């Protein structure tokens, strides 16, 4: 593996990538970053629908962002990823991973040979199992096919995948640091068609939930009700606002405004109460409160969202620090108009790469 690795976050609307030097070490540093638009329909809810157009976008991104490395880590994180708590007899992690398929075949809705499996230990409990210690952890299962489709699209662009990592872990690697690394922190990423909730206790992820909802739910409902193009619906949505004091912009009719407002209200209420319920579910299962929420993603960053969630869930909510504890090289390069908050996942993916 070369000294730098690029993390690739293939979102619904664009691909974001970040090149990190010395990943996996204390000296990890962000060197270059970039974003490129995807044509509508190329990717939906994390699934690659048009590999050629994704590969084209990646080639463009490598040129515009000037990435030096072709070694990439790909993120996986849509609602088809299953995460469950699992207790297993304590044994070395390597052995757990080797035998996982046998241990979990009855727990999965798909055949084990169609899934990629992994296990992330949370804590060891001494003498609680029938035959000694047990280890409590997170079982993660992802369908193989969509992951392979991502790997293929990346190879089509002439890149070399050196790892596949979970988007929720990439998020927590970047956003759980400093003050936030102590106690129980919920990270919530609300994007276009995916919402990720990952809860870490003392910086170790304990709980992951991924749901297929996001800002696109609002846009699609506007398209259906008003019969307008998706781009118009997106404009209407943004001009009315999602949570903070919506107002009627001059260029839309009262009729349109009322309908958009009604859609925004019902979708956002459902989204916010879904988030509150997930936080409550975790708290009552784990027997401890969530101390704080850190928000990210296009919708999560919209003005008013943090306050609305905080009020509903009665938990302090703050915006994620996009590069977390990672330093940016003084001469770092990036594509024009980059918004660093959109790069969090890409940085997290790259920085978790293991140097061999």
Q: Which residues bind ligand ATP (CB under 6 A)?
A: 11-14, 46, 191-194, 214-216, 234, 237-238, 242, 297-299, 302, 342
Residue 71 vs 216, nearer CB to ligand ATP: 216
Residue 309 three-state SS: helix
Residue 115 vs 302, nearer CB to ligand ATP: 302
The yes or no reply on residue 11 touching Mg ion (CB under 5 A) is yes
Of 7-15, 138-146, 152-160, 217-225: span binding Mg ion (CB under 5 A): 7-15
- β pairing state of 132-143 and 82-89: antiparallel
For the stretch 206-235, what's the b/e string if a residue is b when 16 or more beta carbons lie within 10 angstroms of its beta carbon?
A: bbbbbbebbbbbbbebbbeebebeeebbbb
Instruction: Please check whether residue 317 is in contact with residue 144, taking contact to mean a CB–CB distance below 8 angstroms.
Output: no
Q: Write the DSSP string, 10-53.
A: E-SSEEEEEEEESTTSTT-EEEEEEEEE--TTSEETTEES-HHH
If contact means CB under 5 to 8 A according to the sort of partner, which of ligand ATP, Mg ion, none does residue 216 touch?
ligand ATP
If contact means CB under 5 to 8 A according to the sort of partner, which of Mg ion, ligand ATP, none does residue 324 touch?
none
Tokens of 296: 């990210």
Tokens of 301: 């960053």
If contact means CB under 5 to 8 A according to the sort of partner, which of Mg ion, ligand ATP, none does residue 215 touch?
ligand ATP
Residue 23 vs 46, nearer CB to ligand ATP: 46
Rg (C-alpha) for the chain, rounded Å, is: 21
Among candidate residues 260, 82, 70, the one with its CA nearest the CA of residue 154: 70
Residue 51 vs 191, nearer CB to ligand ATP: 191
| Contacting Mg ion within 148-207 (CB under 5 A) | 191
Residue 218 vs 315, nearer CB to ligand ATP: 218
> What is each CA distance from 17 to 208, 339, 347, in whole angstroms?
23, 12, 7
If contact means CB under 5 to 8 A according to the sort of partner, which of Mg ion, ligand ATP, none does residue 238 touch?
ligand ATP
**CB 16, min distance to ligand ATP, A:** 7
Instruction: Please check whether residue 56 is in contact with residue 111, taking contact to mean a CB–CB distance below 8 angstroms.
Output: no
If contact means CB under 5 to 8 A according to the sort of partner, which of Mg ion, ligand ATP, none does residue 299 touch?
ligand ATP
If contact means CB under 5 to 8 A according to the sort of partner, which of ligand ATP, Mg ion, none does residue 237 touch?
ligand ATP
**CB 169, min distance to ligand ATP, A:** 15
Q: How many residues interact with Mg ion (rule CB under 5 A)?
A: 2
Distance of CA 103 to the CA centre of its chain: 27
Residue 207 vs 305, nearer CB to ligand ATP: 305
If contact means CB under 5 to 8 A according to the sort of partner, which of ligand ATP, Mg ion, none does residue 166 touch?
none
CA distance 322 to 345: 9
Interface positions with Mg ion (CB under 5 A)? 11, 191
């Amino acid at each position: 593996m070369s000294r730098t690795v690029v993390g690739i976050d293939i979102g619904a609307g664009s691909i974001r990538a970040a090149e990190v030097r010395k990943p996996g070490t204390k000296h990890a540093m962000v060197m270059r970053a970039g974003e490129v638009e995807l044509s509508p329909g190329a990717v939906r809810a994390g699934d690659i629908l048009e590999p050629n157009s994704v590969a084209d976008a990646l080639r463009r991104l490598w040129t515009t962002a000037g990435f030096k490395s072709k070694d990439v880590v790909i993120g996986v994180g849509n609602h088809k990823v299953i995460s469950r708590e699992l207790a297993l007899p304590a044994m070395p992690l390597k052995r757990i991973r080797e035998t996982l398929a046998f241990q979990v075949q009855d727990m999965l809705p798909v055949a084990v040979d169609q899934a990629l499996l992994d296990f992330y230990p949370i804590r060891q409990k001494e003498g609680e199992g029938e035959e000694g210690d047990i280890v409590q952890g997170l079982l993660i299962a992802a369908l193989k096919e969509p992951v392979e489709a991502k790997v293929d699209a990346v190879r089509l662009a002439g890149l070399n995948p050196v790892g596949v990592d979970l988007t929720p872990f990439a998020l927590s690697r970047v956003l759980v640091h400093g003050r936030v690394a102590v106690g129980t922190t919920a990270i919530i990423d609300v994007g276009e068609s995916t919402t990720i909730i990952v809860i870490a206790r003392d910086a170790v992820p304990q709980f992951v939930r991924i749901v297929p909802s996001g800002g696109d739910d609002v846009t699609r409902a506007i398209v259906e009700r008003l019969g307008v193009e998706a781009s118009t619906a997106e404009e209407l949505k943004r001009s009315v606002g999602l949570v903070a004091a919506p107002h009627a912009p001059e260029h839309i009719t009262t009729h349109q405004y009322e309908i958009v407002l009604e859609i925004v209200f019902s979708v956002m209420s459902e989204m916010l109460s879904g988030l509150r319920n997930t936080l409550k579910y975790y708290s009552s299962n784990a027997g401890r409160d969530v101390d704080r929420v850190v928000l990210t993603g296009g919708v999560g960053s919209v003005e008013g969202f943090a306050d609305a969630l905080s009020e509903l869930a009665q938990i302090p909510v703050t915006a994620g620090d996009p590069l977390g504890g990672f330093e940016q090289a003084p001469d770092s390069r990036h594509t024009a108009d980059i918004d660093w908050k959109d790069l969090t996942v890409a940085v997290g993916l790259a920085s978790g790469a293991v140097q061999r």
